[in-house]
Amino acid sequence: MRAKLGLVLLVVLISACFPTRSSLTVGLRFGVELSPVITRFEPDRGVAAGYRVGDSVSFIISLARPGYVVLVGIDPDGVAYEFDRVFLNPGTHRLSGPPGFRYEVRPPLGLQRVRAIYTDTPHPSGFVFRGTYSLALWDQQTSIYIQRSGSRVRDVAETYFYIR
């Protein structure tokens, strides 16, 4: 009996380690209702993968409907920046940079977070993610971006990798 209880407890603890995505929970985090449009978002080597400075990184994103996506990163030191804006049709896409360019991994070393923000309207004019943010301020900026877009359908997905 104890062995079964221990096994059940272990399964519950392990399952808590896997990321889950509740649209309601994420929506409350940004103060807006989100739609389940982004069904997949991860680096090409997988979530939590390691990259070295100078490596190229691309992102796999799957959308359930057409729309506008902005990619925003936040470095281990809190510096946030927008690094791509694209219009995508439904389906799975590999984002690796504009033609003739690539997303290149740069210092500082550590945890690199990346967000894909989906809206069904074009990007709000004059709004750019740039600066040093805490995670709470990054969430706030994401919420402001979504609100300024005037979008009725919006979604946010986040992934991460390590720079070694």
- The region, left, alpha or beta by phi > 0 then psi within -120 to 50, assigned to residue 53 is beta
59 near 83, Cβ under 8 Å? Answer: no
Cα distance between residue 38 and residue 154, in whole Å:
9
* Residue 35, burial from CB neighbour count under 10 angstroms (0-12, 13-18, 19+): middle
Which of these, 39, 41, 58, 155, lies nearest to 98 by C-alpha position?
58
Q: Which tokens hold the place of 65?
A: 């409907």
Q: What average pLDDT does the chain have?
A: 85
- Residues 6 or more apart whose CB falls under 8 angstroms from that of 72 comprise 80, 81, 82, 83, 114, 115, 117, 129, 142
What tens digit of pLDDT does each residue of 69-117 get?
A: 999 999 999 999 999 999 999 999 999 998 889 999 999 999 999 999 9
Q: What is residue 98's predicted lDDT score, i.e. its pLDDT?
A: 87
What tens digit of pLDDT does each residue of 46-55 get?
A: 999 999 999 9
- Terminal CA-CA length for the chain: 44
The residue ranking higher by pLDDT, 100 or 3, is: 100
Residue 27 pLDDT level (bands cut at 50, 70, 90)? low
Residue 20 pLDDT level (bands cut at 50, 70, 90)? very low
The conformation of residue 104, written as its DSSP 8-state character, comes to B
pTM recorded for the entire structure: 0.82
Domains with residue ranges and CATH for the chain: 22-163 (2.60.40.1930)
Which amino acid appears at position 35 of this protein?
S
113: helix, strand or coil: strand
